[in-house]
């Protein structure tokens, strides 16, 4: 039998590849999953074989690749045998067509039959052109899958194989490997309440102008998502960003630092961990105008007053939660970050270079704690967030 043998602590994955250009990323995904100690059985649709060869996947997985329902070694029961032995089935890439089949319970080839016959979690990594992704039919099918408890990994936005730019790119292999691992591993933060801030604050000058800090919210939202994946209860106090909040988080939307402070103050006594990822404006305008200020060709002086320091407030509560700060610096990163950690009396602070971190998809955090500094390898923000949370779990014991 070519099926995967389940061992007690080894996770067995069926990796289903469907016919999309992102199939090339599945090769790297197999490598990463095996590196994480998983066993991988690859199953490919006929269309997938036009994009990447079964020989490549066999060499990487170390197992014969299944492509047909009618493989004589399996007695026509490959879909039952394989899904019984798997800890999860992952479809990467999942085309719009295959997603439609899954959503409607079709089973006219080995892979779709396996998904229907499974007794384990199903994870789907969509990959398609942005218009196919945005089409109402695809979105309906995704909603159906979500309602059926299927995990959706991605997609991401960016340059597509067709030359267009937008949503629909499959996540990178490293991001998928982490997403799969976090689905398979125990919920290490079950019952833990995480309160956090993310994004910038906006301090009005008048009805149309304001002072703000640069922050897309990507790092903070990634931390929120990673905590949710680990089973935490997450409250995300967010400044104005153009991101979809992670499903499952309680989101409190604010604009100014004072509003962020008020939202945190009201919840700080009821959380186990506080993480300040927000880029909070240190100052606000003393007398903001309700009306648009008319320009008169002369210079203008604004009186600024300091905003409350939210993180310092939480860290100095009589019974503070485990407090984690962030620091974005443009120079002397290590020195400034460690000084900040000590000044705010934090057990942990994550430092990053402002010019590399703000708005980007990737980041490199250096974690500072009482034991010293712990640089993380550069990677996507989701991976940085996962590594940060593992460090928090370790420090909290
Ligand atoms: O959103 P992205 O585009 O993904 O970018 C992410 C990021 C660069 C904004 C993020 O990774 C980051 O570094 N956030 C902290 C920004 C910063 O430099 O903060 P700070 O040095 O001003 O403050 C230090 C810490 O105190 C931070 O945890 C901050 O949230 C907190 N703080 C600061 C001032 C204030 N009034 N209240 C606070 O809570």
DSSP per position, 296-310: -SS-----EEEPP-H
Q: Is 26 helix (H, G, I), strand (E, B) or coil?
A: helix
Q: Which residue lies with its CA nearest to atom 13 of ligand 1?
A: 328
Reported as a single tens digit per residue, the pLDDT across 155-187 is 988 877 777 788 899 999 988 987 888 788 678
Q: How far is the CA of 277 from the centre of ligand 1 (A)?
A: 5
Structure tokens at 280: 């909070």
- Protein residues with CB under 6 Å of any ligand 1 atom: 197, 215-220, 257, 276-280, 282, 307, 309-311, 325-328, 340, 352, 357-359
Cα torsion 232, 361, 173, 148: sign = positive
What pLDDT was estimated at residue 57? 97
Q: Among 254, 258, 278, 363, which residue has the most ligand 1 atoms within 8 Å of its CB, making it the best to mutate? A: 278
Q: Among 221, 327, 359, which residue has the most ligand 1 atoms within 8 Å of its CB, making it the best to mutate? A: 327
Q: Which residue lies with its CA nearest to atom 23 of ligand 1?
A: 327
What pLDDT was estimated at residue 373? 97
What is the C-alpha separation between 315 and 312, in angstroms, rounded?
Answer: 5
What pLDDT was estimated at residue 72? 60
Percent of all residues in the chain with a pLDDT value above 90, rounded to a whole number: 78
Structure tokens at 382: 């989701």
Q: Which of 49, 115, 120, 162 is catalytic?
A: 162
Say if CB 173 and CB 225 are below 8 A apart: no
Instruction: Spell out, as residue ranges, where the chain has pLDDT lower than 50.
Output: 1-8
Task: State the closest ligand 1 atom to the C-alpha of 325, by its place in the atom list counted from 1.
Answer: 28
Q: Which residue lies with its CA nearest to atom 27 of ligand 1?
A: 326
What is the C-alpha separation between 304 and 87, in angstroms, rounded?
Answer: 57
Say if CB 367 and CB 391 are below 8 A apart: yes
Ramachandran angles phi, psi of 182, nearest 5°: -70, -25
* Secondary structure (DSSP) of 256-290: SHHHHHHHHHHHGGG-SEEEE--B--SEEETT--S
Q: Please confirm, yes or no, whether 271 is among the known catalytic residues.
A: no
Ramachandran angles phi, psi of 308, nearest 5°: -65, 145
What pLDDT was estimated at residue 84? 79
Task: State the closest ligand 1 atom to the C-alpha of 314, by its place in the atom list counted from 1.
Answer: 39
Taking the complete model, does pTM exceed 0.75, yes or no?
A: no
Q: How far is the CA of 373 from the centre of ligand 1 (A)?
A: 18
Q: Which domains does the chain have, with CATH numbers?
A: 12-184 (3.40.50.1950), 193-396 (3.40.50.10300)
Residues 6+ apart with CB under 8 A from 320: 274, 314
Q: Among 281, 311, 352, which residue has the most ligand 1 atoms within 8 Å of its CB, making it the best to mutate? A: 311
């Amino acid at each position: 039998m070519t099926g995967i043998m389940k061992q007690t602590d080894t996770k067995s994955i069926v990796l289903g590849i469907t016919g999309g250009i992102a199939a090339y990323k599945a090769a790297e995904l197999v490598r990463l999953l095996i590196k994480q100690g998983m066993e991988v059985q690859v199953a490919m649709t006929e269309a997938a074989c036009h994009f990447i060869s079964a020989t490549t996947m066999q060499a990487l997985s170390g197992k014969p690749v299944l492509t047909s329902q009618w493989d004589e070694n399996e007695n026509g029961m490959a879909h039952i045998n394989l899904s019984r032995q798997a800890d999860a089935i992952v479809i990467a890439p999942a085309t719009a067509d295959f997603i439609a089949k899954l959503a409607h319970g079709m089973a006219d080839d080995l892979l779709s039959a396996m998904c229907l016959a499974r007794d384990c979690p199903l994870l789907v990594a969509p990959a398609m052109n942005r218009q196919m992704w945005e089409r109402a039919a695809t979105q309906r099918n995704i909603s159906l899958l979500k309602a059926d408890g299927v995990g959706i990994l991605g997609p991401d936005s960016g340059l597509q194989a067709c030359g267009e730019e937008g949503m629909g790119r499959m996540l990178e292999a490293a991001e998928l490997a982490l997403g799969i691992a976090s689905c398979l591993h125990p919920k290490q933060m079950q019952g833990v309440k995480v309160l956090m801030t993310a994004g910038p604050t906006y301090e009005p000058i008048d009805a149309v102008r304001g002072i703000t800090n640069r922050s897309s919210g990507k790092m903070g939202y990634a931390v929120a998502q990673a905590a949710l994946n680990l089973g935490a209860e997450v409250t995300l106090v967010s400044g104005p960003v153009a991101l979809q909040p992670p499903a499952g988080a309680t989101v409190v939307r604010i604009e100014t630092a004072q509003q962020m402070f008020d939202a945190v103050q009201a919840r700080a006594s009821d959380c186990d961990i506080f993480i300040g990822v927000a880029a909070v404006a240190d100052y606000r305008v003393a007398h903001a105008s309700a009306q648009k200020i008319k320009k008169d060709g002369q210079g203008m002086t604004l009186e600024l007053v300091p905003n409350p320091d939210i993180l310092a407030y939480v860290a100095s509560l009589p019974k503070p939660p485990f407090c984690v700060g962030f620091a974005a610096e443009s120079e002397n990163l290590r020195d400034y970050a460690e000084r900040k950690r000590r000044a705010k009396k934090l057990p942990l602070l994550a430092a990053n270079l402002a010019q590399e971190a703000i708005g980007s998809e990737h980041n490199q955090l250096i974690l500072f704690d009482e034991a010293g500094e712990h640089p993380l390898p550069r990677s996507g923000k989701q991976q940085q967030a996962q590594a940060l949370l593992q460090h928090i779990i370790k420090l909290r014991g």
